[in-house]
Structure 1
């Protein structure tokens, strides 16, 4: 982004040629014995820009357009400006950076406020039907609740989600092969058994259980609340702080909608009896799992 200040008003420029063509701009300025008069431009996140100081010419990702006291203009990197003009440059660029951020937030708010109707339609698509995100969120919450899903299942599913694990394993007794028998076991002539861990199934999309993927919070806090705020905001009377706060949230609204749609699809696949059954299979033969836990989990997943 590239901004210049004209008569006290920040203007977003499309090209650096608009800077280079200014009558007093010098691409290769010797700043020896020159003093800073003002900061009239700001750039950030541009392709690395060669410093306009004759003694530097390094590329910078962030900096300003300065005016010296003899009215020469130059592009100068942030670090170079701080080194040469010291505190005065730091104060001026921080102030200009705040003004630029405000313009960015205001632009984000205005552009998204014009799309409120579109956003409400997308929100409605997320929440409608039997697999609406809020209904899915309630089901996920029940799987995380030991009193509803049973202590073992709730704990084990949470562990799988945290470890990004999908395979479900259980221990089964298998007959020992001849080469595995001890000398005494071989002499007895009886079959001997050992415990072996085997994969009994796979539970897909366990990541929907993670707190960071909480569909209820994403929808209510990051989508619905933001659309309401955009709808109510009056750009003519809003304070800079209001615009900044809403602008921050509005700038990622499209991303949050996409995230919610992706998680909705994952949760729909996750919340099925067939997908969650392998955990029941694992629990069924475990002496350490209570029958109450088993019944709670079975009852819950049959509802899905």
Structure 2
């Protein structure tokens, strides 16, 4: 990849042959006879290119295209630049790299701004409908205490599963003598009687939909919606380096964020199926609350 700083700003150059045809370009510049003027380009290649200094010619994959005060242009690696042009080259290379980064950030942001309406429409589509993000988020809130009338026995089980990030639905039961003998043999110690163990009665699909970091409200409203608004108000031409760097990084992951939301919606649909959530009833010991939970799921999911 070759980037040149031209009168039109930073431009990408397709091939090294285009550099070799620049007026004044030489592959054999004597650094003792020429003074550095400015850095006019940067290149990064898998294949190595010989240094253009007459006393070097060491092949390297990354370097700069420089002009001299007397006119000739050549290519040099960073080490050669520091060795032969000292502090001046080091300062110029840092400024050049910063300017390239600033240009890249700005272009990335502008590209995203052009597609902003498309992203907004896509998010609106994702949020709408009976199995859209908004509907799934509201339904998921019903599974937690104080949100809907879901029996406390069920909300306690679900909350415990979320905290433990464990999708296995289990009940506590008294271990049989055979089970205790087996556990004592494994653990190498005597266990108290009675001894209670966890028995699996089901496994909940899509539990991760309820994890805090997967909150659709946080992702869609606090992140995407608010960021779309802030981005549309951003003054790209006058933004600070750090500001543009942060926004460019955010723009680079928009499509991944949207893809993650779509995947998360699929997880939510699996979680909120009636047959999936009704598995919880097997772990509710109180008959009244079990019946209330079954009725609740059938009415709300």
- Normalising by the residue count of structure 1, what TM-score does the alignment of the two structures yield? 0.69
CA distance in 2 between counterparts of 1:215 and 1:107 reads 29
SS at match of 1:42: strand
Structure 2 partner of 1:240 = 239
Q: Could you tell me which runs of 5 or more consecutive residues in structure 2 were left unpaired when the two chains were aligned.
A: 148-153, 183-192
CA distance in 2 between counterparts of 1:214 and 1:205 reads 13
Structure 1 partner of 2:17 = 17
CA distance in 2 between counterparts of 1:199 and 1:253 reads 40
Using a 3 Å threshold, how does the CA distance of structure 1 residues 77 and 121 change in structure 2: closer, same or farther? same
CA distance in 2 between counterparts of 1:126 and 1:167 reads 30
Does 2:253 align with 1:252?
yes
- Report which stretch shifted further, 291-300 or 72-81: 291-300
CA distance in 2 between counterparts of 1:297 and 1:83 reads 77
1:192-203 residue pairs with structure 2 within 5 A?
195-203=196-204
1:95-174 residue pairs with structure 2 within 5 A?
95-140=95-140, 143=143, 148=147, 150-160=155-165, 165-173=166-174
CA distance in 2 between counterparts of 1:86 and 1:99 reads 21
Task: Give the conservation status (yes or no) of the 8 Å contact 1:222–1:256.
Answer: no
Q: Could you tell me which runs of 5 or more consecutive residues in structure 1 were left unpaired when the two chains were aligned.
A: 182-191
Structure 2 partner of 1:264 = 265
CA distance in 2 between counterparts of 1:42 and 1:230 reads 30
CA drift at 1:258 = 1.8
CA RMSD of aligned residues (A): 4.1
Task: Give the conservation status (yes or no) of the 8 Å contact 1:28–1:52.
Answer: no
Task: Give the conservation status (yes or no) of the 8 Å contact 2:40–2:65.
Answer: yes
CA distance in 2 between counterparts of 1:249 and 1:179 reads 55
CA drift at 1:124 = 1.4
CA drift at 1:146 = 5.6
- Report which stretch shifted further, 64-73 or 264-273: 64-73
Structure 1 partner of 2:190 = none
CA distance in 2 between counterparts of 1:277 and 1:84 reads 75
CA drift at 1:159 = 1.8
CA distance in 1 between counterparts of 2:293 and 2:132 reads 23
CA drift at 1:176 = 4.2
Number of residues of Structure 1 aligned to a counterpart in Structure 2? 278
CA distance in 2 between counterparts of 1:65 and 1:300 reads 71
CA drift at 1:10 = 2.0
Structure 2 partner of 1:281 = 282
- Report which stretch shifted further, 6-15 or 118-127: 6-15
CA drift at 1:301 = 5.2
CA distance in 1 between counterparts of 2:121 and 2:96 reads 38
SS at match of 1:39: strand
Task: Give the conservation status (yes or no) of the 8 Å contact 1:280–1:297.
Answer: yes
Task: Give the conservation status (yes or no) of the 8 Å contact 1:102–1:240.
Answer: no
SS at match of 2:59: coil
- Normalising by the residue count of structure 2, what TM-score does the alignment of the two structures yield? 0.70
SS at match of 2:129: coil
Task: Give the conservation status (yes or no) of the 8 Å contact 1:201–1:278.
Answer: yes
CA drift at 1:128 = 0.5
